[in-house]
A and B are shown apart, each in its own frame.
Chain A
Amino acid sequence: MSETAEAEPGDLAIATTGLTKRFGQQIAVNGIDLAVPRGAVFGFLGPNGSGKTTTIRVLLGLAAATSGSARLLGHDVPTRLREALPRVGALIEGPAFYPFLSGADNLRRFDAADRHADPATRAERVARALERVGLTHAAKKKARAYSLGMKQRLGIAAALLEPRDLLVLDEPTNGLDPQGTREVRSLIRAVAAEGTTVFVSSHLLAEVEQICTHAAVMHVGSLVAQGSLDELRGTGSRVVRVITPDGDRCVSELAHLGLEVGPSDLAAHRAGDAEVVAPLPDDGPAAEDVVAALVRADVRVRGFDVERPSLEDRFVALTGEGFDVAR
């Protein structure tokens, strides 16, 4: 966690200090310190209503922070946003379009709004963005006739009209079927491979876990964890799990190996079997040596396992609720 928090400000695509947003009495975002390293695919996770969209609105200058400060691509928000925004593509709280315009005309319209976009290359860039999200065939169709999944992809195409340094995607897989979700994931991978920092919010951990290098977890407006995925999983928190009829002998043999078994970690498993769980430090013995030692000590091993707590476990612990609350 410390690694990203201490990085030079110039290395951060997004940096906030004590960022707070109130709506009347309600605190939607409560003093968060975000640090999104450049080049990262950063998962911004949290249940519905935890303040993700509000944070994104403040970062992009749509809403004013109540207190705290933020920098986007090294530029102060909101005073220097004009310099940052042309380098940022965004999908915010779902896509939005002019229903009476075609998909391609919608993209042209948003491109014309960007005072830095070159009209001479507009047609070409619109065609390329549509192709990238697989909508070339629907370019001339009115946006009102698009399905939810097509709209989501058109929204991503709008964010990709220009080469970007930062792509902000708020719940990009909302409303997509599993196939569409996979497509969005591979699109994010491709964009990230070009060096673009991707900041992707989601209330569904499983949908972004595979593509993220970093993540942060929001819980009722507060940032409860942030860092690289390994940092978040908690390095050194691996555990060995042994299922054996020889519980006591197993515990003492593990103690020989330097693995402390807490009193609560020796539990009855099934008739006659005990389940022994012990933390396995990173500098501890290799898993295969533990099994060999147990067998030498005549501990009959019925089951053996080394596990890391899953991110899901971590997040349930952090937010006190599952990540699927919305479903």
Chain B
Amino acid sequence: MRGERLLGSELRVLFRRWRTWAMLAALASIPILMAVVVRLSSDPPGPGEGPPFLDQVTNNGMFVAVTALVMTTPLFMPLTIAVVSGDTIAGEASLGTLRYLLVAPAGRVRLLVVKYLTTVVFAVVASGTVLLVGWAIGAALFGTGEATLLSGDTIGVGDAVLRSLLVGAHVTICMIGLAAIGQFISTLTDAGVGAMAAVAVLTIVAQVLGQLDQLAWLHPWLFTHHWLGFADLLRTPIVWTSFTENAALQGAYVAFFGALAYGRFTTKDVLS
């Protein structure tokens, strides 16, 4: 398929950048740091101390992966998505390469779609990195026996892998919604750094608004609303409400900001 060749080229460009690997390395360092610190401390974290699930880390390797996702989701992971999605169109514009892609001709809609898919792939790789590294270091330092869930039930290794994959999927879906917002912002400017900063600021503002009780009516509509809502995936039986509500909300964000990006980019004068 013709589109896939451009997608391949996009992915090669993304993963040829030193910046991309630096971001993935930074993400990978979170579970490693966390696991090592917990392992070396003589005083294991008690229930309710530190980030959610931290007290569970010593109990099973799986929880290193899940806790690392909890710690990276509010800020670190969205920052990397801000960089990649904010750069999609604005980055090409500031390099001047956008005009050459368009006269190639890449096709504006095709370019927009392929750029978005590239960011989605990056989101999968980013959460996958935290998960895999978390599992590896967790297994090495704390073993992978049976794990005790929040509901008190005990699950085996296979089930634990499945549960942490679900958490990873939840976080990835959150980032896919953010990526659509980021790409729209990216069509508004010719300054890649400006678009990245705007996406990062928006992420923080949305989370701050989510803390204000006066705005409770707004909370269900914030794209950050369900970002940390994956505790229900760690119970037996699994409660899917949060997961599916979030997927629907992120889907709506993708549709809305995708349409805005389409409207903007297909009519934009490329003067960079």
Residues of A within 8 A of B5 (CB): 112, 115, 119
Q: Are A114 and B270 in contact (CB under 8 A)?
A: no
Residues of B within 8 A of A97 (CB): 95, 97
Within 8 A of A (CB), among B90-108: 95-97, 99-107
Q: Are B100 and A82 in contact (CB under 8 A)?
A: no
A51 to chain B, nearest CB (A): 13
A88 to chain B, nearest CB (A): 7
Residues of B within 8 A of A111 (CB): 104
Contact of B17 among A62, A90, A100, A108 (CB under 8 A): A100
Q: Are A62 and B9 in contact (CB under 8 A)?
A: no
Q: Is A92 an interface residue (CB 8 A)?
A: yes
Q: Are B271 and A63 in contact (CB under 8 A)?
A: yes
B237 to chain A, nearest CB (A): 47
Interface string of A34-60 (1 = CB under 8 A from B): 000000000000000000000001001
Q: Are A81 and B105 in contact (CB under 8 A)?
A: yes
Residues of B within 8 A of A57 (CB): 99, 269-271
Q: Is B212 an interface residue (CB 8 A)?
A: no
Residues of A within 8 A of B97 (CB): 96-98
Interface string of B17-50 (1 = CB under 8 A from A): 1100000000000000000000000000000000
Interface string of A124-162 (1 = CB under 8 A from B): 000000000000000000000000000000000010000
Within 8 A of B (CB), among A184-203: none
Residues of A within 8 A of B17 (CB): 100
Q: Are B269 and A64 in contact (CB under 8 A)?
A: yes
Chain A residue, CB-CB nearest to B94? A96
Cα–Cα distance between A64 and B269 once the two chains are bound (Å): 6
Q: Are B269 and A62 in contact (CB under 8 A)?
A: yes
Contact of A112 among B8, B102, B105 (CB under 8 A): B8
Cα–Cα distance between A317 and B9 once the two chains are bound (Å): 50
Residues of A within 8 A of B12 (CB): 109
Q: Is A86 an interface residue (CB 8 A)?
A: yes
- B-binding residues in A (CB < 8 A): 57, 60-64, 81-82, 85-86, 88, 90, 92-101, 105, 108-115, 117, 119, 158
